[in-house]
A and B are shown apart, each in its own frame.
Chain A
Amino acid sequence: AQSVTQLDSHVSVSEGTPVLLRCNYSSSYSPSLFWYVQHPNKGLQLLLKYTSAATLVKGINGFEAEFKKSETSFHLTKPSAHMSDAAEYFCVVTGGNKLVFGAGTILRVKS
């Protein structure tokens, strides 16, 4: 079975500072992992995905994530936050039938 734990329900950063959103997963399979972003009153948009190729994955809008099997982690990072990054972020694992979502992390960016 798969599960995902997003370690922070809320993260607040200042504009221009680094972003770190933490995700740990559990999977019986070789997992595929994703990060999705949801802006207020908008649909879910894929930021990036890991599917057993390179462990460092680059996504849209300057985000990247590193798959660390030994730590069962897939943390999302960005070197410099922008006001437009304020949104809710979901870490997702799949390896079987269903996409399993984390509870989400709300990112707040202060000016």
Chain B
Amino acid sequence: QSVLTQPPSASGTPGQRVTISCFGSTSNIGSANVYWYQQLPGTAPKFLIYRNNQRPSGVPDRFSGSKSGTSASLAISGLRSEDEADYYCASWDDGLSGWVFGGGTKLTVL
């Protein structure tokens, strides 16, 4: 059971906009930044979003992050087949004195 809650799966068709949610609490998302990672099949994770809504260079602006209260969202617009991957949210948890991850969301492009 992960501290951060994500839907196990999401799907969309090419060109669509998809959002993935991440629910936490006041001890993590409510008081700390949220990060998103992308893991393509068979590869290592990659940084996708840092500090709630910032993108590393090289990450397309089709990917955007937002945070409100104790929840966060990752939005992917103009969905492409190469976006098919697992997506994880993470945040620092003051109560646990450690990082916590969501269980991951498997995105399927239909």
* A and B interact physically: no
**A residues lining the B interface (CB < 8 Å):** none
List residues of chain B with CB under 8 Å of any chain A CB: none
